[in-house]
Structure 1
Amino acid sequence: MSTPHILLTGERVSLAMTDRDHLPDYHRWENDPGTILGYGTQVAQSWEVRAGGWEGQGRNRDYPQFEVITADDHTPVGLTTLSIDPAVRTAEFVILIAPEARGKGLATEATALTLRWAFQYSALRMVWLKVLEPNAAGVAAYQKAGFQPAGRLRQSGYWLGRPCDELLMDATADDFLFAGEPA
């Protein structure tokens, strides 16, 4: 295993540059039934599609992707992504946690580190996300990391084969950077 290029260090996880050698892990995580349920995508993705997507993502500076690794032994446990709209300096946030790493609070810290990157290093004004309403663990993790409710898209997603609402959540640079921090 190569030494990761760490970008931000947290207490339990760090954000690192993605690693092509870990692409099979990313593909496995994305095709886990729990991931498919959480994203509401309903379909698995072939290896060829995922590998082809990797090549395109690496060249797009408005689509930074971070590998989430454990702080102690640098084991890859997830990915976070910012899909930046450069015209308005906002981004959509997406997170993927490995099935074996879920339920341990790692998503909250990885989300907070990604927001730190978004606001301190990428100079974004606002970051938003969509989460399926039945995904209570996701909603709680996002709120704990700094996201706030911003709206809902009625019947726009699927959970266990049934239509459900998607919740919109956002975090602003002012809320995140200056909440309790010295100016």
Structure 2
Amino acid sequence: MTSSDPALWLGTGTCALGPYRSDLVETYWRWEQEPSLLVGYGRQGPESLEARTEGMAHQMRGENIRFTVYDLAGGSPAPVGVSTLLPDHGVRTAEFVIMLAREARGRGLGSEATRLTLDYAFHVTNLRMVWLKVLAPNAAGINAYAKAGFRKAGTLRRAGYWLGQVCDEVIMDALASEFGGPSAVKDLIAP
């Protein structure tokens, strides 16, 4: 590994998680300004790079758990997104948020990154439950979350906006006690 190679903490053959990096603030900011991402988050307006840079300094000091998502398919790791756990330590739960660059969508990287983040949440951070909110019209997101281990838990009626229209938000959760299948964390510590 050279000094320019990113640190990769958990991975599969095609996707990995590494540290959230201040040197990627402009890259993160570009992804966040893309209109389809703004619609998916239900956010109404863009943010300046200056404001994002200032926010990054705060995020780097915070208690939230953030990862850079890497695409490994091209030979060398390429950053393509961010996954975040917003923990509530008092009850051992966290909200999950993910952002993928447009070019990374539709290839299964979202499901893989989500599953790796859940693996970390349950086997390193020892959370008992992780939850998320997704706008109901975002069928691709709902399917990716379900593939990664989330289940629908409820609906917040008329709580969001999608393309200028009021819509429901779907609440999904994943429990540590139900998280099965391969574990990148367990593979790292297996004798």
TM-score range, shorter chain: over 0.9
Code of the residue aligned with 2:9 in structure 1: it is L
* Cα distance between partner residues in 2 of 1:53 and 1:180: 36
* Cα distance between partner residues in 1 of 2:39 and 2:156: 17
Code of the residue aligned with 2:88 in structure 1: it is D
* Cα distance between partner residues in 1 of 2:13 and 2:159: 36
Map of 2:35 onto structure 1: 33
* Cα distance between partner residues in 2 of 1:165 and 1:35: 17
| SS of aligned partner of 2:156 | strand
Map of 2:65 onto structure 1: 64
Using the size of structure 2 for normalisation, the TM-score is 0.90
| SS of aligned partner of 1:84 | strand
Instruction: Give the % identical residues.
Output: 50
Give, in angstroms, the shift of residue 101 of structure 1.
Answer: 1.1
Give, in angstroms, the shift of residue 2 of structure 1.
Answer: 2.1
Verify: 1:138 aligned to 2:141, yes or no: yes
Verify: 1:126 aligned to 2:141, yes or no: no
Map of 2:153 onto structure 1: 150
List structure 1 segments (4+ residues) > 4 angstroms apart after TM superposition: none
1:10 pairs with one of 12, 25, 28: 12
Please, which moves more after superposition, 113-122 or 41-50?
Answer: 41-50
Figure out how many residues of one structure are paired with residues of the other and give that number.
179
Please, which moves more after superposition, 116-125 or 44-53?
Answer: 44-53
> RMSD value over aligned CA atoms?
1.5
| SS of aligned partner of 1:165 | strand
Code of the residue aligned with 2:20 in structure 1: it is T
Residues 141-165 of structure 1 deviation map (CA, whole Å, 9 limit, x = unaligned): 0000000000000000000000000
Give, in angstroms, the shift of residue 180 of structure 1.
Answer: 5.2
Using the size of structure 1 for normalisation, the TM-score is 0.94
* Cα distance between partner residues in 2 of 1:141 and 1:45: 27
Counterparts of residues 21-100 of structure 1 (less than 5 Å): 21-60=23-62, 62-71=63-72, 72-100=75-103
Give, in angstroms, the shift of residue 35 of structure 1.
Answer: 0.2
Code of the residue aligned with 2:71 in structure 1: it is T
- Residues 129 and 55 from structure 1, CA distance in 2 versus in 1: closer, same or farther, beyond 3 angstroms? same
- Residues 74 and 180 from structure 1, CA distance in 2 versus in 1: closer, same or farther, beyond 3 angstroms? closer
Give, in angstroms, the shift of residue 100 of structure 1.
Answer: 1.2
Structure 2 unmatched ranges of 5 or more: 183-191
* Cα distance between partner residues in 2 of 1:180 and 1:139: 20
* Cα distance between partner residues in 1 of 2:125 and 2:61: 17
| SS of aligned partner of 1:58 | helix
Code of the residue aligned with 1:168 in structure 2: it is I
* Cα distance between partner residues in 2 of 1:59 and 1:3: 23
Code of the residue aligned with 2:19 in structure 1: it is M
* Cα distance between partner residues in 2 of 1:25 and 1:148: 31
